[in-house]
A and B are shown apart, each in its own frame.
Chain A
């Protein structure tokens, strides 16, 4: 027997890149975040081989949770093939050896920048959202210590005021992506810059959502089956982006969240933003067998859970 037989094989990196302390700290924070839905748990965001602001928060959450049995999907604005998504996916795979996929229904962990897939996520799936700005109160209170006190007091009056001001000035709520939500009737939360279209998907969802901001060093979560309500008035309701009349040039489908492609003529064409879903629709059109899961919005544009969008 030699010393080499007794030692672990030499590795250039720890499993999942992060060292044991970083991983343990993130795991502790993730558990606290799940226990206090919507509360921003501070954490020591570690250095990664990508720059802060490019998804390091989401990446650290994914790397601390992922195991060899997982199947990982990474999307950026709905696309599996964008530079950011491709690089993150390759890095995760290289550091963990996990299987990767573009299929929402097959993935156990979906790391996403700014979209929730069109197909409904199910029990036991984990959605990791990359968050650039975790503080929903920043527009009304730039001092983060003050904002923390406001969260402690559940003092969100200024948010309602800004909502009212939008209504008076512009006749509608102007906030597009990152539409603030109240989680479990307690904490105001930024759902990361997902479009309003995706916000209802967090309400009473079967899956777990972890939101992580690497640059801002905050991590928060929405457990499954938790109330997530966009802020709205009792007589003026939150609305999702109207996709009516938009038809995907690739698939001919409608009533999904579309990317707008401006044309030289000044007109616009549209394409479904969720490329994994497009891939499946195209396969089906070509007669190949594929399994499309139920979607959040049906072909008439109705959200699957009645009463969520008023």
Chain B
């Protein structure tokens, strides 16, 4: 018997999942996705979403792409996997309704994938599981109100698990990570 080999989809999805797993294990530390740009969100969708689960995205093009996974397209208040290629202020109202899970089943909290930029603008200090002490990161392209919304919603063990995607890098922000918005200068 020959050893099975990965087909191209397996290879892509394995690399993506590995990046997501380590990004969530070490929050704030960027890991590399196999593709860059808008394709990265599609690839994360392809890796996690299938006909057993549901997705939401305000982006029409991405909706069309994600529907190939077989996942159900549901509104933001009930979809398990949500994709925001760009998070505008108006999207925050949608995001605010995303499920956070229940105390009996906190794993029903949504996974949120957001496109942003790294390395400038908002300075954040992260603390929690996966971080030895604290870690500081710089994030751009997210509305300021996003962080207060997350703080109000993510009350571990309830909350959202967030992946911030920029180019071909992904950064994990599980619900257990406490985020402190720092002021400039450093």
Contacts and interface: CB of A to CB of B under 8 A. Distances in A.
B97 interface: no
Contact of A36 (B1, B5, B107): B107
Contact of B107 (A12, A17, A21, A41): A41
A124 to B, nearest CB: 7
Contacts of A208: 21-22, 25
Query: Which bracket fits the contact residues of A?
Result: 35 or more
A96 interface: yes
A152 interface: yes
A273 B36 CA distance: 46
A32 B4 contact: no
B176 A36 contact: yes
Interface string A1-35: 00000001101111111001100110111111111
A184 interface: yes
Interface in B86-106: 102-104, 106
Interface residues of B, number: 42
A68 B9 CA distance: 14
A109 B26 CA distance: 17
Given A67-B14, A225-B129, A225-B132, A31 B7 contact: no
A107 B14 CA distance: 18
A106 interface: no
A149 B9 CA distance: 40
B24 A34 contact: yes
Q: Which 8 A-B pairs have the closest CB atoms?
A: A35-B174, A152-B103, A97-B3, A226-B129, A32-B107, A35-B161, A223-B130, A152-B104
Nearest to A187: B157
A65 interface: yes
Nearest to B27: A223
Contact of B4 (A34, A96, A224): A96
Contact of B48 (A8, A20, A27, A33): A27
B161 A32 contact: yes
B102 to A, nearest CB: 8
Given A12-B2, A37-B176, A95-B4, 5 more contacts: A11-B2, A31-B111, A36-B175, A96-B4, A223-B174
A39 B14 contact: no
A8 B11 CA distance: 14
Nearest to A68: B6
